[in-house]
């Protein structure tokens, strides 16, 4: 029995490394950071940004959108729930600083549904004056040619949605450095890995560009009010209508307030349960690609010298791949002092993976929600 278990763990250990190399090669083949051409036509764009609160990065993130080198007209719609929201002061200062920009502050009272981000988009979309809509989270800072890249990628009439990959820009605590491996190394490369198997059928919510008529064809924002993963649902519904989902080669920055281990854990668990609900079968089998867990399990089951050497080689390989993927996405020089975080992340991810199947409740923006099997959620009083 022990030999059969050892053989099974050996197979999983080898498979996990093969999947790691596949993930790495898929990421390296994508033209990340390639400068997009200026589109031959510059159609007007409406930018929709739901806001809540005013963290340290809000002003800089909004300024990055106001300083785009896009030659066409850009309407900026910024939605807040009430006039007392601290984001209002930031927006009013930017309106004075950029008098030539079309910046509209929209108060969105009486929001419906548990997803207040989408509820604000429901209020903003009727005020948009353009066919091309760009939706972005409040904490996203973008390079100055982002709109050029989005419009260039959306030039193909068969493309229904354009996404941008994103990086965690300020991992200021150890817990955030753990999460940065998940975001800056694994997530984007695993998305590209899955793209080698089948066309992408989901959206990434940091930055999305799409046509207004396509949005209305799949039910507008009103149909997403109860969805947690509204970005996934929008992309999935467009894909089911035959539209292609593309990725702009530019990378945007997501800025976050400092997180403790408890906050980072809740964030990862919410993310895991969301993915599990959206893609239950792929998420279940995703644990096969854990290149630290299976070699370690094999070494614990049969701790002889050759297997321990294999474990050491696997952990070192994992660390090198993580450093390379992070460097490709962020542009920052690799830091050998963080090499140990890669296997730690893998082992903690196993706990997160288990937690995704052990409940259907999440904490999101100060509220507790219950996820349903169809991807919608309800507020728990």
Digit-coded pLDDT (tens) for 297-328: 999 999 999 999 999 999 999 999 999 999 99
Domain-embedded: residue 379: no
Domain-embedded: residue 271: no
| 247 and 178 inside one domain | yes
Q: Distance (Å, rounded) from C-alpha 139 to C-alpha 87?
A: 12
Domain-embedded: residue 265: no
- Is pTM beyond 0.85? Reply is yes
- Of the residues 227, 258, 289, the one at which a domain ends: 258
The Cα-based distances of 61 to 138, 139, 165, 169, 255 in angstroms read 7, 6, 16, 12, 8
* CATH code of the domain covering residue 73: 3.90.550.10
Region label for 242, one of left (φ > 0), alpha (ψ between -120 and 50) or beta (otherwise)? left
| 218 and 143 inside one domain | yes
Q: Distance (Å, rounded) from C-alpha 202 to C-alpha 349?
A: 22
Print burial letters for 8-30: b (CB count within 10 Å at least 16), e (below 16).
ebbebbeebbebbeebbebbeeb
| 132 and 18 inside one domain | no
Q: Which domain holds residue 124?
A: 45-258
Domain-embedded: residue 223: yes
Domain-embedded: residue 110: yes
| 248 and 137 inside one domain | yes
- Of the residues 258, 285, 311, the one at which a domain ends: 258
Domain-embedded: residue 306: yes
| 161 and 85 inside one domain | yes
| 110 and 236 inside one domain | yes
**φ, ψ at 284 (rounded to 5°):** -60, -45
| 107 and 182 inside one domain | yes
Residues paired with residue 46 on neighbouring β-strands, in sequence order = 75, 133
Spatial neighbors of 297 by CB under 8 A, at least 6 apart, are 9, 12, 13
Strands of 139-287 (E only): list them: 140-141, 159-168, 207-211, 244-254
Q: Distance (Å, rounded) from C-alpha 193 to C-alpha 188?
A: 9
- Of the residues 223, 258, 293, the one at which a domain ends: 258
| 83 and 192 inside one domain | yes
Q: What is the pLDDT of residue 117?
A: 92
Count of the separate structural domains present in the chain:
2
Domain-embedded: residue 270: no
| 282 and 243 inside one domain | no
Which residue numbers in the chain have pLDDT < 50? none
| 220 and 91 inside one domain | yes
Q: What is the pLDDT of residue 379?
A: 81
| 119 and 60 inside one domain | yes
Domain-embedded: residue 263: no
pLDDT in tens, 6-62: 999 999 999 999 999 999 999 999 999 998 877 778 999 999 999 999 888 999 999
| 52 and 163 inside one domain | yes
The Cα-based distances of 193 to 19, 24, 25, 37, 345 in angstroms read 9, 8, 8, 26, 19
């Amino acid at each position: 029995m022990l030999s059969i278990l050892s053989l099974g763990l050996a197979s999983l250990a080898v498979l996990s490394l093969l999947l790691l190399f596949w993930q790495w090669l898929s990421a390296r083949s994508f033209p990340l950071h390639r400068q997009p051409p200026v589109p031959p036509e510059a159609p007007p764009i409406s930018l929709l940004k739901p806001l809540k609160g005013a963290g340290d990065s809000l002003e800089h993130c909004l300024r990055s959108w106001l300083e785009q080198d896009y030659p066409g007209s850009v309407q900026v719609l910024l939605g807040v729930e009430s006039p007392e929201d601290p984001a209002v002061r930031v927006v009013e200062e930017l309106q004075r600083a950029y008098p030539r920009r079309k910046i509209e502050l929209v108060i969105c009272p009486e929001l419906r549904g548990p997803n207040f981000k989408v509820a604000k988009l429901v209020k903003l979309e009727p005020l948009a004056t353009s066919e091309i809509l760009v939706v972005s989270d409040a904490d996203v800072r973008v390079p100055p040619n982002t709109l050029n890249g989005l419009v260039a990628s959306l030039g193909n009439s068969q493309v229904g949605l354009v996404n941008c990959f994103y990086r965690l820009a300020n991992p200021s605590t150890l817990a955030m450095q753990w999460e940065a491996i998940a975001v800056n190394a694994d997530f984007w490369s695993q998305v590209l890995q899955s793209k080698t198997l089948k066309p992408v059928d989901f959206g990434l919510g940091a930055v999305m560009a799409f046509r207004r008529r396509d949005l209305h064809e799949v039910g507008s924002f009103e149909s997403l009010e109860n969805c947690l993963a509204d970005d996934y649902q929008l992309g999935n519904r467009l894909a089911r209508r035959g539209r292609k989902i593309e990725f702009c080669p530019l990378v945007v920055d997501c800025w976050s307030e400092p997180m403790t281990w408890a906050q980072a854990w809740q964030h990862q668990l919410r993310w895991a349960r969301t993915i599990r609900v959206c893609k239950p079968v792929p998420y279940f089998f995703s644990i096969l690609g854990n290149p630290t867990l299976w070699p370690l399990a094999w070494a614990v089951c049969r701790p002889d010298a050759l297997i321990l050497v294999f474990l050491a080689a696997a952990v070192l390989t994992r660390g090198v791949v993580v450093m390379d993927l992070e460097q490709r996405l962020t542009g920052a020089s690799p830091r050998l002092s963080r090499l140990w975080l890669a296997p730690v992340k893998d082992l903690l991810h196993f706990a997160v993976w288990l937690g995704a199947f052990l409940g259907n409740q999440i904490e999101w923006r100060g509220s507790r929600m219950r996820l349903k099997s169809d991807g919608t959620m309800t507020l728990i009083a």
